[in-house]
Amino acid sequence: MNVSSIGGLFLSKKEREFRKQLSNVLGFNPGNVELYRTALSHRSVREGADENNERLEFLGDAVLGAVVAHYLFMKYPYKDEGFLTEMRSKMVNRNQLNSIAVKIGLRRITLFNKLDNSLKVSQIFGNTLEALVGAVYLDKGFDETYKWVARQIIRSHLYLTELEHIDINLKNKLYGWANKNGKMLEFETISEKLESGRRFFTIGAYIDNELIAQGEGFSKKNASQIAAQKAIEKLNIT
């Protein structure tokens, strides 16, 4: 068997590869590897509350929100609460987090039921990113987590200057275009299901009864915004 020893423990080739990939994603060597393994484990492969990443996702969501709020507070000393709240929403929305998670390589090391094709295109990687933030917080503390999020997530993948100019109420923008062009725009719920114990929505944007785009999220509002954004991009609305 192909094994090596770390700290007196004999590790298989598969385990060594997992730890290498984990360190590459994190940018540092983790202290408690099992904590991070839990953060990367979806309930489809580990059902126990102490085994899958749902509790860490809950913690990571709160920590990430605090880190982003602090980062924005320091970066924009003269902006009001409304601006800061809007920017935070743009930075940590489910679609954004899922995209970042895939970019940093979480899809390759997230442990989930790969036979379930619906999971491959769902938002579980964004959820996993939040769980990973929770793990970093427990492993390294808030100060190091702040530095890690700022370095690995915000400065590497979030372009704040561009986000400042994105209209967060994309539904209104799409409605304005529809009214101007004599089109009938409707947002309808395509499906509603439970995922990770929460309701997960798929919302469709229909123009003249034709499905133009659809979005997914844990609230109808977020799913509608994502559908509106995709419709705007598809229709080349400026």
Side chain identity at residue 59, one-letter code: L
- CA dihedral of residues 5, 9, 12, 17 (deg, nearest 10): -80
Element (H, E) at 232: helix 220-234
Q: CB count, 10 Å around CB of 151?
A: 11
The reply to whether 139 belongs to the active site is no
The reply to whether 195 belongs to the active site is no
Q: Which contacts of 32-35 are long-range, i.e. CB under 8 A and separated by 24 or more positions? A: 32/135, 32/138, 32/139, 35/135, 35/138, 35/139
Side chain identity at residue 166, one-letter code: I
Among the listed residues 54, 57, 130, 139, the single catalytic one is 130
Nearest-10 crossing angle of helices 54-75, 124-140:
80
Among the listed residues 61, 86, 139, 216, the single catalytic one is 61
* Angle value at C-alpha 133, between 130 and 137, nearest 5 degrees: 145
Side chain identity at residue 202, one-letter code: T
* Residues annotated catalytic, as ranges: 61, 130
